[in-house]
Structure 1
Amino acid sequence: MNRETDGTGSAVDAQDPRKQFAEECRSARELYPGGPLTQTELARMVRTSKSTISRVENCVGPIPAGLPSLLDQVFATDGLFKRLYEEVESRGFPAHSRPRIELEPRAVAIAEWSPTVVPGLLQTPDYARALFREGDPRASDAELASTVHKRMARQEILKGTTPPDFSAILCESVIRRRVGTPKVMREQLAVLLEHGKRPTSVIQVLPLDAGTHGLMDGPLSIVTTADGPPVVYTEGIRSGAIIDEPSQVRHLSRSYDVLTASALSRDTSAQMIRKHMEAL
């Protein structure tokens, strides 16, 4: 594989998507029809600062989540920067979770079951930070900030003009278990309530007295894309797996449907979440 240096003597993979993003940005700017754009001129066109463009082109720090789509508009690159950005982001996650991260931007429907914590797509920054801090007490503040940023960037798929249909079933223990300070937990529960009001989202709570069910082994996500059948993603503490064998997907999807029927209704779930939020 071809390798070159990044200017500091360190070897850099020539196929590194972060480096590709930087090179494509620089090249598109310099070859802009009508004459080269300065970093200041490009920054004005994409509503950011010259320093941000400079950092992006020099592979310094994260790429702002809203920048790729704006670059695609300015340079008419048909989603090139968006695709590179998604690859950059997916490589920043543990190897076992990358298949799911790569599927999310193409999803037309996502269904989540979580018996332990609020799903990543619904977490607040402070809730995520508290989880990551507890999971890795030796992480530096910079490492923690980077990890939280990556989790928040995933949530962009729920904020666009055409978000996927999203449903989540949370065990009652998820809303009872305090993560971080009471303030952090109140804010997290408030976000769940807001998500539950969206026309494309359904948030339900499975009460603790619901009894035995087929998904007690752990969390599960069912991701459906426009160009393929549904797949199931299961995850452990340090492992994850994509299940795409049709009979297994049908079996797990049926278990999720049964769980949906056993959970509280949207309105009753919201009442329970609000009750716990107000008690904090």
Structure 2
Amino acid sequence: MANGSRQAVWEFFGAELKRRREEAGLTQVELGARVFVSGGYIGQFEQAIRKPQLDVAQRIDEVLQTDGIFERLCRKLIDDPRYADYFAHVVELERLATKICEFAPTAVPGLLQTAGYVRAVTIAMNPFASDEYIEDKVSGRLERQRILEDATRPVYWVVLHENVLRVPVGGPRVMAEQLGHILRLARARTILLQVLPYTAGAYPAMTGDLRLMEFEDAPPTAYTEAVYSGTLLDDPAVVKRVYGAYDLMRAAALSPEASLALIESAAEDNRRCASTT
């Protein structure tokens, strides 16, 4: 994981810790006494100067009754082998987000992928991988998607480039299933979806995936991804520019209704192709 991305996660940890501590009506000294560290240490955790040990994070969860959030940040997700090291920290932020805006230029976003699509992508990137490795990737991806099933799910607004609809990942049968899944989520109003068509021409952020996340009591963040790398951005000026780029793509995209019609057409093309093979 890049140092900048790791630091951004710990800064989020610190901001969340401060918020939860203040909600509990505790000073840094009082919380420190309850988790067996000094108040100065708590202050350093909140400023992301010092990183807590796992047992300290667990005690913080117990005292603040935070349902394991800080333990997960320290261990379960940041070091989860099912996720690439540059992305693992984003998974926890995803679960805390109240709104996620995403632009996908080449592939279906992970939150929308079917098991067949995940397998096809994983095998393409790891042609010598074991079945166990592939199924671990599938289970990790599907587990992430539970946030869209929850009653408190975040607002999820995704813009897909038309490339995503046209590349037959896994073959026409897998692709037809994948596009059908996206259509069901959109028609159920679980997600808001638009397609950026080829006719839009050049667009901002042409270098890779883009994701914006908003939180109830923490500043928004932006995450960009390229080949085997990802960067979490939290500088307010940079995040503002990324929001501007996303807004421009959203403005150039088809309406939600026209987008669904285009996806349905692509799904039908794949269904016809699958029926003849």
TM-score with structure 2 setting the length: 0.70
Could you tell me whether the CA contact under 8 Å between 2:77 and 2:88 is conserved in 1? no
Matched residue, 2:100: 110
Match of 2:173 among 162, 183, 193: 183
Amino acid at match of 1:115: P
Corresponding position of 1:134: 124
User: 1: distance between equivalents of 2:236 and 2:121?
Assistant: 34
User: Structure 1: where are the runs of 5+ without partners?
Assistant: 1-76
> Which residues in structure 2 correspond to 1:246-257 (within 5 Å)?
246-257=236-247
Return 198-207 or 176-185, whichever deviates more.
198-207
Residues 2-21 of structure 1 correspond to what in structure 2 (within 5 A)? none
> In 1, distance between residues paired with 2:70 and 2:139?
18
Higher relative contact order (CA 8 A, sep 6+): 2
Aligned-partner Cα distance in 1 for 2:84–2:230: 10
- Superposed CA offset, 1:217-258 (max 9, x none): 111000111121111001112111011111111111011011
1:113-262 correspondence runs (5 A): 113-262=103-252
Report what 2:275 is aligned to: none
CA contact (8 A) 1:96 1:240 kept: yes
Moved more, 212-221 or 104-113: 212-221
Secondary structure at the counterpart of residue 189 of structure 2: coil
Tell me the secondary structure at the aligned position of residue 217 of structure 1. Answer: coil
Deviation at 1:88, TM superposition (A): 2.1
Q: Residue 267 in 1 paired to residue 254 in 2?
A: no
How far apart, in 2, do the equivalents of 1:186 and 1:119 lie? 16
Q: Which amino acid aligns with 1:199?
A: R
Percent of matched pairs sharing the same residue: 36
Counterpart of 1:88 in structure 2 is: 76
In structure 2, distance between residues paired with 1:82 and 1:249? 24
- For 2:209 and 2:267, locate their aligned partners in 1 and report how far apart those are by CA, in whole Å: 23
For residue 152 of structure 2, give the secondary structure of its aligned residue in structure 1. Answer: coil
Contact preservation (8 Å) 1:169, 1:204 = yes
Residue of structure 1 equivalent to 2:266: 276
What residue identity is the alignment partner of 2:179?
L
RMSD: 2.0
1:177 maps to amino acid = V
CA distance in 2 between counterparts of 1:245 and 1:153 reads: 30
Q: How far off its partner does 1:79 sit?
A: 5.4
In the alignment, the residues of structure 2 paired with residue 147 and residue 99 of structure 1 have an alpha-carbon distance, to the nearest angstrom, of 16
Which residue identity is paired with 2:99?
A
| Cα distance in 1 between the residues matched to 2:133 and 2:190 | 33
Separation (CA, whole Å) in 1 of partners of 2:110 and 2:266 = 20
Aligned-partner residue type, residue 222 of structure 2:
V
Deviations 1:71-123 (A, max 9, x none): xxxxxx95536765674244222211122112011000000001000000000
Secondary structure of the residue aligned to 1:161 is coil
TM-score computed with the length of structure 1 as normaliser: 0.69
Q: Deviations over 1:37-72 (max 9, x none)?
A: xxxxxxxxxxxxxxxxxxxxxxxxxxxxxxxxxxxx
Cα distance in 2 for residues equivalent to 1:244 and 1:89: 19
**Residues 262/177 of structure 1: CA separation in 2 closer, same or farther (3 Å cut):** same
